[in-house]
Every structure is written in structure tokens, then in C-alpha cells.
Amino acid sequence: MYNINTKTNMTKLPLLQIPKGANEFYDSIMVDIEPDLVLGELPKLKEKYKDESPKSLKERGMRYYEAFQKFNEMLKVKTLELDDKAHELHSFVIGALENLSKGQDDEDCNQIETHIKKIK
Amino acid sequence: MNHLNKYLRLFSEQRLIHFEGFEHSSAPEEVEKEIPKEDSNENLGPDIDLPPTEESIQSENADTEQVQDEASSENANGLTERDKRNREIQSKNIDVFSKNIQYTLESKDALQSRLQSWAEASVSKHVDLLDDRLSDVHAQMSRDMEMQSRVLNDCLHRLSNMDRQGISLIDELSQIDPSDDRYRQIKTLVNNNINEANRLSTDTKPMQINLNQTFDEVDIKLDEKKGTYTDTYKDEEFDANDDAIIDQFEDGYHSRKIADDLVSALRNDNVDSVKYDLAIDKAQNVFSQMNPQQRELFEQWINDEISNAGLDQRLKFDGTGNLKIES
């Protein structure tokens, strides 16, 4: 087995699960609010509600309206989470660079080379 | 007022649907009020405030026919002008009612289309909003990831340099008598080198985890570098007279590195990983260069390593030099 020092001062950063695209991001929020309004379902609504009554049509409209209101509220939360993740990564990178730079200056290598030359 | 107009108004008031400019091509007509009889409260026109049904239409028509029959009869008996006018109004109202039924059906379709359009437009607007937001975040993260890549590459470069220095130190060490003071000095340098290599490898590990795309590649490179140092100088305070450590590097490094990678892959049930494939390739490559006795020992040695790790699997080389896993 490697005789590696496993202790580290750096905080391990969990894998960042950032949505790759806006569509995926939108669906991930909307699916819990109003499944009718996820992207894959939109084109099917006309067929799905072809026999609805005027009353249910009105209720559906109301439901969709409220869904977007709720979506906007959720979006604020998700946006903050995204910012936090981005900030977390940035802090992590800066912290890692600072940590590495502690012993990463050229002096260390130069010192070794100097010693070798002296020994020789 | 037609009940669908009410829906339109409700949607509009509650901002359910922005029916801007919505005007049906055949807007419903208001029924004309009849001239009331002085001695009668009858209302023969359709009640269009209520949702019309087929039954009610038939019923209204029947009533109207009945009234018309009565009117004819009364006409024969001398109807007043007011009665005639009422019948005209009733007849006209029935036409209006029929049109309104058609309008109701068409309006529902129109409303559904409007709702659909509005929903699609709203979804599109929100997706665009998210796209902008995500683009900003991704741009920031890309910059950070790029920075990490540069740091990792720099670390790899430094490890390579240290690798060369380590080899040089080994050469020095092999030519010096262990009783020589320089031997201790070089050993100190070697240990410093090991510590620095360890630190670089360990401290950059979390970065590798973030760099998913290059994770395997970088991990392998770093592990190989780590292996070089830690296997070469298994104990940081090694016995100065133990030249076998250097021999281990030359003769045993590959075997141990291969065994470590295989054990690691088996332990993590990760036999599909690049590291595992690489280890298998290396093992087979080493195996191909061995004589039969060495092959037997090599196989036994690797299996001992696997067994020592508490794993049940066994690796077996077949006659053609291919390595297989036996559970």
C-alpha cells in the first residue's frame, strides 16, 4: 500500500450538481409544482383536455397561473442555491491555491538542487 | 350576457390569461326583450345566462311552437299588434340562442387555444430566464475549473521534476557508502522529496474530484507518481543499509503498483474503470516478459495481496497470458 499522508487541510468539496441546461433546470423545478407544465407535457395538453368543461378550463387556467407564481418563488431559492454552489467552488479553488502555494514556491526545489550541488 | 363572456372577464380580471385583443368573430347577440303583456308574466325567450343544453333548446323550441300555435289561433280571433311583435321577437331570440350555442362551443376552443398559447409563452419565458442565469453560473464555474486544471497540470509538472530528482538521488545513494555522512544527507533530501510529493498529491486530490472530465487521467498520473515515491521509499526512515529498498523500486515497483491498482479496483467493485483496465494491461505486459517460474510467483504474489485485502476474488493468468478474475 502507498505510504501516503491522507491528512489534508483542504475541505473536500462534494460533486457539484449544477443543471447542465435550462430545460433540465426548468423541469426539475416545475415537475413538483405542476406536472402539466413540464416541457414534455406541454404539447400533449390539447389532447389531454379536449373534453374539459368551461368550468374546468377556468380552474386549469387558475392552476397554471398559481403554478408560475410558485415557480417564481422556487426560482429565487434555487438561484440562491446556484450562487452558493458557484461561490463554494470559487472559495474552494482559491483555498486550494493558497494551500498549495504554501510549499509550492520554487525555493523548495532550489533548495534541493543546492544541497545536491553541495554534496557533490 | 353570455356565460363565456363571464369566463373571459374572470380570466382577464384574475390575470389568468392575457386575452389582449381577444374578440370572437361571432360575438353573441343579446336577446331582445319582449313587450310584456299587461296581464301575463310569461317569458318565452331562452335564458342565455344559464348554460344552454340540448334539452333546454328542444324545450324552448317546443314552447315557442306552442306559443306560435296559440298565436295563430289568437290571430284568427284577432291578435293585437303587441302579440304579433312578441312572436317576431321570440322567433328572433331562438335564432340568437342557436347562434349563442355555436358561439359557446367555438369560444371554449378559443379559450383553450389562448390558455395553451399563454402557457407555452410563459414556459418559454421562464426557460429563457433560467438559461441566462445558468449561463452566468456556468461561466464562473468554468473559470474556476480552468484554474484548477492549470494548477493540477502545474502540480503534475512539479511531480515529474521531483521524480527526476528522486531518480538522481537514488543514483547518488547507490554510489555512496552508507557510513558516509553524505548518505544521511541525501536520505534527508529524499525524505523531503517524498513529503512534498505526498503533499502535492494529497492536496490536489479534491481538485481532481471536481474535474470530472480529466479525473481518471489525472488520478492515474498522480497515483503513479505517488507510487514511485512511496513504493521506492516504503518507510520514510528506512534503514540506511537496506539496499533492498532500492532493489524493490527497480524490481518490485511495477508488481506492487499493479497489485495495488487491482486490489483497489476489486475492493471498490470498480472493474470497469480505466484504472482497472490499465492495471490489467500492465499485469499482462509484465507477465508476458516473465519465465514460467516468475509467472507462477507473480500470480501467487498478486493473489496474496488480494487475499490480504480481505477480498474473495482470485486472478488467474491463462496459458495465453490473459488475466481473468475468478470469484
Give the ipTM of the model, two decimals please: 0.73
| Domain housing B30 | 3-134
Last residue of a domain, one of B67, B99, B134: B134
B249 and B126 part of one domain: no
Residue numbers in A near B122 (CB within 8 A):
64, 68
Residue B241, pLDDT above cutoff 90? no
Q: How far apart are the first and last CA of chain B?
A: 82
The pLDDT of residue B83 = 84
**Percent of all residues in chain B with a pLDDT value above 70, rounded to a whole number:** 46
Residue B126 pLDDT grade (very low, low, confident, very high; cuts 50, 70, 90): very high
Task: Indicate whether B144 belongs to any domain.
Answer: no
Same domain, B125 and B247: no
**Per-residue pLDDT for A47 more than 70?**
yes
pLDDT band per the 50, 70, 90 thresholds, residue B13: very low
pLDDT, averaged across chain B: 64
* pLDDT reading at B228 higher than 60: no
Cβ-proximal residues to B275 (8 Å cutoff; 6+ apart), any chain: B216, B219, B220, B223, B261, B264, B265
List of chain A residues whose C-beta atoms are within 8 Å of the C-beta of residue B12? none
pLDDT at A52: 87
Check: CB of residue B115 under 8 Å from CB of residue A58: no
Residues of chain B found within 8 Å of residue A57, distances taken between Cβ atoms: 7, 108, 111-112, 115
Residue pair B134/A80 in contact (Cβ under 8 Å)? The answer is: no
pLDDT value at residue B199:
72
Q: Is residue B178 part of a domain?
A: no
The whole-number average pLDDT for the span B127-151 is: 82
- Which amino acid is residue B28, in one-letter code? P
Digit-coded pLDDT (tens) for A95-110: 777 776 665 555 555 5
Contact B192 A71 (CB under 8 A): no
CA of B25 vs chain A CAs: smallest distance (Å) = 19
Which residues in chain A are closer than 8 Å to B111, comparing Cβ atoms?
A: 54, 57
Does B125 or B90 have the greater pLDDT score? B125
Which member of B4, B127, B138 has the closest CB to residue A26?
B127
On whether residue B87 sits in a domain, the answer given is yes
Nearest to A46 among B7, B116, B235 (CB): B116
Residue B195 belongs to some domain of the structure: no
The pLDDT of residue B164: 72
Which domain-ending residue is among B85, B114, B134? B134
B284 in a structural domain = yes
The answer to whether position B190 is within a domain reads: no
Please list every residue in chain B whose beta carbon sits closer than 8 Å to the beta carbon of residue A104: 158, 200
Of B151, B155, B196, the CB nearest to A108: B196
Which residue would you say has higher pLDDT here, B173 or B222?
A: B173
A79, A90, A103: residue with CB nearest B144: A90
- How many structural domains comprise chain B? 2
Average pLDDT in the B263-287 region? 67
Cβ–Cβ below 8 Å for A19 and B155: no
Is B210 part of any domain? no
Per-residue pLDDT at B196 exceeds 70: yes
- Name, in order, each residue with C-beta under 8 angstroms of A54's C-beta and a sequence gap of 6 or more: B3, B4, B7, B51, B104, B108, B111
What's the average model confidence in pLDDT over A10-31?
A: 73
Average pLDDT on A78-99 reads: 80
For B292-327, the pLDDT digits (tens) are: 666 676 677 778 778 877 888 787 777 676 777 776
Q: Identify the weakest region by mean pLDDT among A5-9, A27-31, B186-190, B279-283.
A: A5-9
Residue B77 counted as domain residue: yes
3-state DSSP assignment of residue A54 = helix
- Which residues does residue B325 pair with via DSSP β-bridges, in sequence order? B315
Do B202 and A12 make contact, defined as CB atoms within 8 angstroms? no
What is the structure's pLDDT at A36? 94
Task: For chains A and B, count residue pairs whose Cβ atoms are closer than 8 Å.
Answer: 174
Question: Which of A7, A42, A109 lies at the smallest CB-CB distance from B119?
Answer: A42
**Domain boundary, last residue among B85, B108, B134:** B134
Q: Which three cell numbers stand for residue B115?
A: 390558455
Mind telling me how many Å the CA of B277 is from chain A's nearest CA?
19
At residue B5, the pLDDT reads 56
* Minimum Cα–Cα distance from B115: chain A residue: A61
Q: What is the pLDDT of residue B207?
A: 65
Q: Do A4 and B230 touch (CB under 8 A)?
A: yes
Q: Residue B270: its pLDDT value, please?
A: 56
Contact partners, residue B255, CB within 8 Å, separation at least 6: B286, B298, B301, B302
Instruction: Report the percentage of chain B scoring pLDDT > 90.
Output: 4
Q: Which residues of A touch B148 (CB under 8 A)?
A: 93, 96
Report the pLDDT value the prediction gives residue B310, as an integer from 0 to 100.
81
